[in-house]
């Protein structure tokens, strides 16, 4: 068995790939770049293509299938970049990775704290040696009502860790958890919008929740609400968010993800005039924090994402199911 690791990062993933290759007895080949027509043939002879979030076109999947690739494994929780219908048609199995929820959950809470305390503006002004106080007064998270949309593993961990702050917590999910109900109040989505001082997103990107945060939902929120997103950029209509920030309806935002980011993360675009109008506008606002999709990025999580691919290939080759398999 053999895995083709596209976009392999030598500075963090390489050591884990070597470790788990020995542990599982699975060979591998590394391909530095993202999949493109010029490097698809590098996966010849491999059972698996493993990749980070990037553009995966249907014709790439078709080419790999002709080479004998049977599985598409994502070194990420998200798999919305995979053309699932093509994979299904070709009989390929798809899986995402797993990692502990604490890293992303704590990063989301960090963004909440930075937004409530106006940290971006504070640090920008400090860099210019402006140490005055006007405009810097924030809110105490302990006195806020936090609305958590999505109570899966990460959302549930956010709620658990927020217990120590003493804030009021509202929750929304199509599938409610008894564990979460002991820590937060489940409410309808419109009620969560109306009552929350801070709203944090922890749900998958699906056709049903595309632009969940839009002009209509923003209008239902409190004036000055803070929006945090460490999930998927497609959950927010960025044009609507910009308009709400400009009007003051939204008081600030902490965004670790944006729409159409596949050609941005994880590349060095220093010095480039980026054709991402909404992101450029958001980055220019002193009350908005835009980080480059790195809420997941801890040593524990990187090791877990690399290990996932070896676990999944072992299960699939043995005819077993795997909890990370994507239903097609």
Q: Is the Cβ–Cβ distance between 79 and 232 less than 8 Å? A: no
261 among known catalytic residues: yes
185 among known catalytic residues: no
The CA distance from 184 to 157, in Å, is 12
Helix ranges restricted to H, the chain: 13-24, 58-67, 84-89, 102-116, 119-127, 153-162, 178-181, 189-195, 215-219, 238-247, 277-284, 299-317
Residues 6 or more apart whose CB falls under 8 angstroms from that of 12 comprise 299, 302
Phi and psi dihedrals of 77, rounded to 5? -70, -40
68: its two tokens? 């004998």
The catalytic position among 259, 293, 307, 311 is 293
293 among known catalytic residues: yes
The catalytic position among 156, 202, 232, 276 is 232
Q: Which of 86, 91, 85, 50 is nearest to 68 (CA)?
A: 91
The catalytic position among 125, 261, 283, 325 is 261
The CA distance from 167 to 157, in Å, is 15
188: its two tokens? 């309808």
Q: Which of 167, 294, 150 is nearest to 208 (CA)?
A: 150
| Lookup result for tokens 């990187």 | 302
Residues annotated as catalytic (active site), given as ranges: 232, 261, 293
């Amino acid at each position: 068995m053999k895995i083709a690791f596209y976009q392999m990062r030598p500075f963090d993933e390489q050591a884990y790939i070597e470790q788990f290759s020995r542990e599982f007895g699975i060979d591998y080949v590394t391909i530095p770049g993202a999949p493109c027509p010029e490097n698809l043939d590098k996966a010849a002879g491999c059972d698996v293509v493993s990749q980070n979030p990037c553009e995966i076109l249907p014709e790439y999947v078709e080419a790999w299938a002709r080479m004998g690739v049977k599985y598409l494994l994502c070194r990420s929780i998200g798999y919305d970049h995979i053309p699932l219908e093509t994979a299904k048609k070709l009989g390929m199995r798809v899986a995402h990775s797993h990692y502990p929820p604490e890293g992303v959950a704590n990063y989301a809470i960090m963004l909440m704290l930075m937004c409530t305390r106006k940290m971006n503006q504070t640090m920008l002004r400090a860099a210019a040696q402006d140490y005055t106080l006007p405009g810097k007064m924030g809110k105490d998270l302990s006195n806020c009502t936090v609305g958590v949309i999505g109570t899966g593993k990460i959302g549930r961990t956010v709620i658990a860790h927020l217990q120590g702050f003493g804030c009021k917590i509202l929750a929304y999910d199509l599938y409610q958890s008894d564990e979460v109900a002991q820590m937060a109040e489940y409410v309808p989505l419109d009620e969560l919008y109306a009552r929350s001082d801070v709203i944090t997103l922890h749900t998958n990107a699906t056709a049903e929740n595309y632009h969940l945060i839009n002009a209509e939902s923003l209008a239902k929120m409190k004036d000055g609400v803070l929006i945090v997103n460490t999930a998927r950029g497609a959950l927010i209509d960025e044009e609507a968010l910009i308009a709400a920030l400009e009007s003051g309806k939204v008081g600030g935002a902490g965004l670790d993800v944006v729409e159409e980011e596949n050609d941005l993360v994880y590349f060095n675009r220093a010095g480039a005039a980026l054709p991402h109008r909404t992101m450029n506008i958001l980055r220019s606002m002193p009350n908005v924090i835009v980080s480059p999709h790195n809420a997941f990025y801890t040593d524990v999580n990187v090791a877990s994402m690399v290990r996932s691919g070896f676990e999944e290939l072992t299960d699939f080759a043995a005819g077993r199911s795997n909890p990370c398999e994507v239903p097609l």
